[in-house]
Amino acid sequence: MMTSNSKLEWAEKIDISNRLADFVSRKGSQKKAAVGLDISNATISQILASNWDSISDEMWRKISNSVGGGANAWSLVPDVSVTERLLRFLEESQQLNLVFGITANAGSGKSATIAHFVATHENAYAISCNEYMEERDFVLEIFKAMGREPNSSRVYPMTVELLDLLKRTPYPVLILDEADKLKNKVLNFFITFYNQLEGIAGINLIATSFLEKRIKTGAQSNVKGFREIYSRLGRRFIVLPEINYTDVNKICHANGVNDDKLIKNIFDSCENDLRRVKRRVIAENRKKQKNGI
């Protein structure tokens, strides 16, 4: 098992190298993979060529955490309620160039589902929004998700270049996770993206229910741009369901916990939060490893 302080074994490096090769294949080029991982193209070349002497363990761990799919990776279960519905809406958004506002409870697995969708669908680009983002940061993050670098550092030409790039991409879909954290002036970028990409790209604003409340309240109070945003979302938000016992049961079984009484205890104490489920399952699996089970 790889920990933050242990020295990596040769077999672990082989595993990470293989997963990196798969990641490069999914991204379409080594350059795009390098941008997405925020590492140099030369580092990827060295690893894929098995020239590992200059690669630090810290770099190996960074790459392993970024490309996913390791031996200790968490298994996503595609047919649990939130994941199943969210995957379906994202698929429809990409194939039919649809625009959705989607909300789900914190800890429902929406971000993990988005990561899974992006990893398994070509031309699907997701960013994790935050309250510190300015307009330039927002556009740069989308460039990074696409594995590209802009030719300008100014917001306007960067945005024009990005929109042109998306227009030339087959069936692109943008996924703005935690969109409720964006400042108003950055959230208003959605209007420009919608106007320029309608019928060309799918766009999804995904967050907790606070996003719906914020947009509706802003529209009623005539906050700049919010009526336009609400209108472009079809004046409707898709609300994903809460997790249930069946969901937790499937997740536990997929990740090595099979005792029915223990699963019931995990569900009763999780408060509909899959982060708590994950922590309990990992803890139970560590107990089994420690006891040699």
Domains contained in the chain, number: 3
In angstroms, the CA 229 to CA 249 distance is 38
Q: Of 52-61, 85-94, 245-254, 284-293, give the lowest mean pLDDT range.
A: 284-293
Q: Is residue 2 domain-resident? A: no
Condensed to tens digits (0 to 9), the pLDDT of residues 239-251 reads: 999 999 999 999 9
**Residues 182 and 205: beta-carbon distance below 8 Å:** no
Condensed to tens digits (0 to 9), the pLDDT of residues 209-228 reads: 999 999 999 999 999 999 99
Query: What's the CATH number where 183 sits?
Result: 3.40.50.300
Q: Output the pLDDT for position 71.
A: 56
Residues 175 and 207 in one domain: yes
- pLDDT surpasses 60 at 254: yes
Residues 228 and 99 in one domain: yes
Q: Which of 38, 84, 39 is nearest to 246 (CA)?
A: 84
Residues 109 and 225 in one domain: yes
- Domain containing residue 39: 10-67
Q: Of 44-58, 65-79, 115-129, give the lowest mean pLDDT range.
A: 65-79
- pLDDT surpasses 90 at 25: no
Residues 285 and 199 in one domain: no
**Residues 46 and 55: beta-carbon distance below 8 Å:** yes
- pLDDT surpasses 70 at 58: yes
Condensed to tens digits (0 to 9), the pLDDT of residues 120-173 reads: 899 999 999 999 999 999 999 999 999 899 999 999 999 999 999 999 999 999
- pLDDT surpasses 80 at 72: no
99 phi and psi, to 5 degrees?
-115, 125
Residue 163 structure tokens:
């929109």
Give the burial string for 49-60 (b: 16+ CB within 10 Å, else e): eeeeeebeeebb
Residues 28 and 108 in one domain: no
Residues 114 and 214 in one domain: yes
Residues 173 and 264 in one domain: no
Indicate the pLDDT class of residue 83, thresholds 50, 70 and 90. Answer: very high
- pLDDT surpasses 90 at 66: no
Q: Is residue 250 domain-resident? A: yes
Q: What percent of the chain has pLDDT over 70?
A: 96
This prediction's pTM: 0.82
Indicate the pLDDT class of residue 69, thresholds 50, 70 and 90. Answer: low
Residues 185 and 275 in one domain: no
